[in-house]
Amino acid sequence: MLNNCKPSTNDKMTGKHENSSWIIDTVTSNHMTGNWSILRDLRCISECPVCLPNDSQTVATKVGTTRLDDKMSLKDVLSVPGLTCNLLSVSQLIDDSDCIAPFSKHGYVLQDRTSKMLIGAGERRDGLYFFEGNSCVRAFKVDKVGSLDLRH
């Protein structure tokens, strides 16, 4: 799952980020964490092989649920021994939440697919996208409109 990561990305996934940070990952098929203490409702699963960013392999044998923020929780998060970061799987998130996730060079947003309501957003730092909930969204107000007409 993670064996397709570029070497420069592998160096960044060494645990130097906050333990509570979640990195948005388009490669992984499942949400994963090496910090089993953030998981609740932990249950055993059949062995699930996982390739770590340093090219070593491990096996996940437990899965649980965790909260991303006050409004959003993740289910079926793999507890991966030896993983030093938290990975948020875009494909699992889209499947579970029925959302869309447009990305740009500065960040991304997560929106409900039908209502387009904001679910979460985040920024890109050091080539990685970090989940920051929806509190990071900024709105800008236009006080004056120049000589151009404003049309919707």
- CATH number of the domain that 61 lies in? 2.40.70
CA distance 83 to 72: 22
In a domain, 141, yes or no: no
Q: Is residue 146 part of a domain?
A: no
Residue 147 within any structural domain of the chain: no
According to the 3-state scheme, what is the secondary structure of the chain? CCCCCCHHHHHHCCCCCCCCCEEEECCCCCCEECCHHHCEEEEEEEEEEEECCCCCEEEEEEEEEEECCCCCEEEEEEECCCCCCEEEEHHHHHHHHCEECCECCCEEEEEECCCCCEEEEEEEECCEEEECCCCCCCCCCCCCCCCCCCCC
- pLDDT tens digit string along 87-143? 999 999 999 989 999 999 999 999 999 998 888 889 999 999 999 876 544 444 455
How confident is the model over 29-47, as a mean pLDDT?
94
Residue 148: inside a domain: no
pLDDT at 70: 78
Name the residue range of residue 103's domain.
Answer: 7-131
Q: How many domains does the chain have?
A: 1
pLDDT over 90 (residue 4): no
Is position 136 within any domain? no
Q: What is the pTM of this model?
A: 0.75
Would you say residue 138 lies in a domain? no
Q: Which two tokens stand for residue 18?
A: 């906050």
Residue 40, pLDDT > 50, answer: yes
